[in-house]
Amino acid sequence: MGKLDLITIIIIAANVILSYKGFNDFGFFERHKFNIGSIRRGEQFRMLSSGFLHADTAHLFFNMFALYLFAGQVIYEVGQYSFFIIYMGSLVAGSLLSLYFHKNEYHYSAVGASGAVTGILYAAILLNPEREYYFLFLPSRIGDVDLGIPGYVLGIGYLLYSIYGMKNRIGNIGHDAHFGGAIGGYVITLILSPWLFETNLLMIGLLALPILLLFGLKKAGKI
């Protein structure tokens, strides 16, 4: 389980307060959600403000619960200040990738902290790529078989699924924001923790593969 450091509490509180404001004030929600047309008319603040709004309480809960699970790992490795930079940078990176992929869809809208949270997830995996993760509500072992999934497998698998989701527009999910957040988490963590190039160079390369694949597919016009 994650650890509730002060910065995590502040971020969760900001998400809860602003999301509930949006739940009860339609005008506030509409003025601050991610919307391509509004952003292209100059309202770039939406690329940040939309990350503190959510569609409903379930959306808010799952994002904040995921943040709770992974925030402590990142804070332990890089400190609260760097964690905050990764979180906010990932949020913006998620919005930028959404803007890049939907720039001509003027009515495209989105909300949620998913990009920022995915950035924290990818940062946690980059910092401890061989740490094993387990599914909630499922046993960690069956007999002598360990059901843990190494972090780098989880990270690569998640981004490959995100590419599939983007290509096929699966569900009402901002797969591009998730992917952009992961890119933000990956790049910013490497900038803030250059020692990783000495200790985890192979994993850095492996975790970059889905990112290279995405832009390769985009260049080829297949996504």
pLDDT of residue 3: 59
Phi, psi angle pair for 146, to nearest 5°:
-85, 125
- According to the model, what pLDDT value does residue 140 have? 67
pLDDT (0 to 100) of residue 195 = 94
Please tell me which residue, 101 or 1, carries the higher pLDDT value. Answer: 101
Q: Which of 99, 75, 96 is nearest to 85 (CA)?
A: 75
36 pLDDT band (50/70/90 cuts)?
Answer: very high
Examine the pLDDT at 171 and tell me if it is beyond 80: no
pLDDT digits (tens, 9 = 90+) for 117-146: 999 999 999 999 988 887 766 666 676 766
How far is the C-alpha of 168 from the C-alpha of 93, rounded, in Å? 22
Per CATH, the number for 6-219 is 1.20.1540.10
Residues above pLDDT 90, as percent of the chain: 75
What does the pLDDT average to over 163-183? Answer: 86
Mean pLDDT of 99-126: 94
Q: Beta-strand (E) ranges in 45-147?
A: 109-110, 132-133, 141-142, 145-146
pLDDT in tens, 188-201: 999 999 999 999 89
